């Protein structure tokens, strides 16, 4: 019996969930009875419409250069990466597998976010490096009936204020461990009902796969407890926003962290050039890091979301935070992304930005002397979705990493979402202006 067959039998699997991330970072796919998975799924013959890569957050399609009404959005096919087959602990008898996407001829679909990141990992290897990535995200847990947190306090690092969530969070941690995903810690964050769960760093593709499963687990398990978990970056104007912080480092062929300078007990020249590459392109890729208009509501001063293109040593007020922790732990943390960012696309862009800095041996600008929000640095990060979309559309760097089709689609989505946001009249506007003007 094959290893896959042994897995399916050992865990008495009856249903296999075949998953893929669309361009917005939403998890899509199909559920197959195990019989169908054994015969069809393993061979990658499960089809989905290519509209998967040509729609917005409400699955409203738009015509792209490759997938459009002229060709009727033809099928693409899911090819399971069997190394990602894992147990869904909260649904006995269910397994989950992350898929690559191929066309009718079996060729990789280049616009697929997972394929984009896979290509970048290959380019790192050609350059003689492997990357470690740690994806650290925040989210809110809300009462399902009211849609608001069950507490009004800010419980940051508290162990008792948010105890109502702990049974759910315990099941999340346990479910992730059963699925082979290492959890380092979880804790209350800076908003009422806001949580952060830290996953252990690993290779970029595996880290992105695990974050997608993590989001899935959090939302599904929360619903079992009468709660709503949301990765919306700014669900409440008066409370802290949620980010996705990307910790990253490069290793050489021997597994040695090249960001650590043993002699100087600090950042190596490679790390400094990598950071310079990040800073050079952060503004151009803000539309990927912050993909919805809502996310720009957290790009404000003194919010722990960066507004300036700056870096600093263990400084949470900067866009890039350098953490010097010896051979094992020295890394750079990119802090600009919102919690709803697509982890495949975001990681691909950040890794290539950093690698470009290393290749060109870019000099690193001086670090922020104090408050990163008040430093000039290399300018400001876009705080408006229109500006961010314009920068992405004109970025040769982003087109080189993501491909023109993906850039075109991402710009279209953000512009459509921004148009929706502009057309809405909020309750606060009526309350403030209805009788006053």
**Cα 227 off chain centre by:** 22
Cα-Cα-Cα-Cα dihedral sign, residues 276, 282, 288, 292: positive
Mean pLDDT of 226-235: 95
Mean pLDDT of 333-362: 98
384: Cβ–Cβ under 8 A, 6 or more apart, which residues? 296
Q: Hey, is 323 helix, strand or coil? A: strand
3-108 domain in CATH 3.10.20.70? yes
> For 50-64, how does the pLDDT look when each residue is reduced to its tens digit (9 = 90+)?
999 999 999 999 988
Cα-Cα-Cα-Cα dihedral sign, residues 394, 293, 216, 191: positive
Q: What is the distance between the alpha carbons of residues 400 and 12, in angstroms, rounded to a whole number? A: 45
Please give the DSSP secondary-structure letter assigned to residue 280.
H
**For the chain, which residues make up each domain, given as ranges?**
3-108, 119-423
CATH topology classification for 119-423: Creatine Kinase; Chain A, domain 2 (3.30.590)
Kindly state the tokens that stand for 61: 């399609």
Contact 386, 418 (CB under 8 A): yes
> For 308-333, how does the pLDDT look when each residue is reduced to its tens digit (9 = 90+)?
999 999 999 999 999 999 999 999 99
Cα–Cα nearest to 184, from 199, 195, 166: 199
Q: What is the distance between the alpha carbons of residues 270 and 340, in angstroms, rounded to a whole number? A: 30
User: Phi and psi for 174 in degrees, rounded to 5?
Assistant: -65, -40
Contact 395, 285 (CB under 8 A): yes
More confident residue, 183 or 158: 183
pLDDT class for 42, splitting at 50, 70, 90? low
Q: What does each C-alpha distance from 169 to 216, 257, 310, 382 come to in angstroms?
A: 13, 33, 34, 34
Which range, of 77-81, 138-142, 374-378, averages the lowest pLDDT?
Answer: 374-378
pLDDT class for 424, splitting at 50, 70, 90? very high
**What is the pLDDT, as a whole number, of residue 190?**
80
Q: pTM for the full model?
A: 0.96
**What is the pLDDT, as a whole number, of residue 161?**
64
Residue 157 has pLDDT above 80, yes or no: no
Q: What is the distance between the alpha carbons of residues 164 and 301, in angstroms, rounded to a whole number? A: 32
DSSP string, 169-218: HHHHHHHHHHTT--EEEEEE-SSTTEEEEEEPPB-HHHHHHHHHHHHHHH
Mean pLDDT of 83-87: 97
Mean pLDDT of 26-41: 91
Specify the DSSP element, H or E, that contains 418.
helix 404-423
Mean pLDDT of 375-384: 91
Contact 139, 339 (CB under 8 A): yes
pLDDT class for 44, splitting at 50, 70, 90? low
Residue 156 has pLDDT above 80, yes or no: no
Mean pLDDT of 364-375: 90
> For 233-253, how does the pLDDT look when each residue is reduced to its tens digit (9 = 90+)?
999 998 999 999 999 999 999
């Amino acid at each position: 019996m094959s290893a896959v067959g042994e897995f399916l039998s050992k865990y008495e699997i009856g249903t296999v969930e075949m998953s893929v991330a669309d361009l917005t970072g939403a998890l899509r796919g199909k559920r197959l009875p195990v019989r169908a998975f054994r015969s069809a799924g393993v061979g990658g013959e499960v089809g989905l419409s290519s509209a998967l890569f040509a729609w917005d957050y409400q699955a409203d399609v738009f015509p792209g250069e490759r997938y459009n009404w002229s060709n009727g959005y033809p099928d693409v096919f899911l090819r399971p990466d069997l190394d990602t087959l894992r147990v869904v602990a909260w649904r006995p008898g269910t397994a989950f597998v992350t898929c690559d996407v191929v066309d009718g001829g079996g060729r990789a679909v280049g616009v697929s976010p997972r394929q984009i990141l896979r290509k970048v990992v290959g380019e790192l290897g050609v350059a003689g490096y492997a990357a470690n990535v740690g994806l650290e995200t925040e989210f809110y847990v809300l009462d399902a009936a009211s849609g608001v947190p069950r507490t009004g306090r800010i419980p940051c690092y508290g162990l008792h204020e948010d105890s109502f969530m702990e049974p759910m969070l315990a099941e999340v941690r346990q479910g992730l461990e059963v699925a082979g995903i290492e959890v380092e810690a979880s804790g209350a964050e800076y908003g009422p009902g806001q949580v952060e769960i830290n996953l252990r760093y690993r290779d970029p593709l595996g880290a992105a796969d695990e974050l997608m499963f993590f989001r899935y687990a959090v939302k599904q398990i929360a619903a079992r407890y009468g709660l709503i978990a949301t990765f919306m970056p700014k669900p409440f104007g008066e409370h802290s926003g949620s980010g996705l912080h990307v910790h990253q480092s490069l290793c050489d062929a021997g597994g040695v962290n090249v960001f650590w300078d043993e002699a100087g007990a600090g950042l190596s020249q490679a790390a400094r050039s990598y950071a310079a590459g990040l800073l050079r392109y952060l503004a151009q890729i803000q539309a990927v890091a912050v993909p919805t208009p809502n996310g720009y509501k957290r790009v404000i001063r003194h919010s722990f979301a960066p507004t300036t293109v700056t870096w600093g040593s263990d400084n949470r007020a900067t866009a890039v935070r350098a953490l010097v922790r010896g051979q094992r732990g020295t890394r750079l943390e990119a802090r600009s992304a919102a919690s709803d960012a697509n982890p495949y696309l975001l990681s691909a862009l950040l890794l290539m930005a950093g690698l470009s800095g290393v290749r060109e041996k870019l000099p690193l600008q001086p670090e922020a002397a104090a408050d990163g929000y008040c430093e000039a640095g290399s300018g400001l990060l876009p705080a408006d979705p229109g500006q961010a979309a314009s920068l992405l559309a004109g970025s040769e760097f982003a087109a080189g990493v993501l491909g023109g089709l993906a850039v075109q689609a991402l710009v279209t989505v953000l512009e459509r979402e921004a148009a929706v946001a502009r057309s809405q009249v909020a309750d606060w506007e009526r309350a403030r202006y209805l009788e006053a003007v």
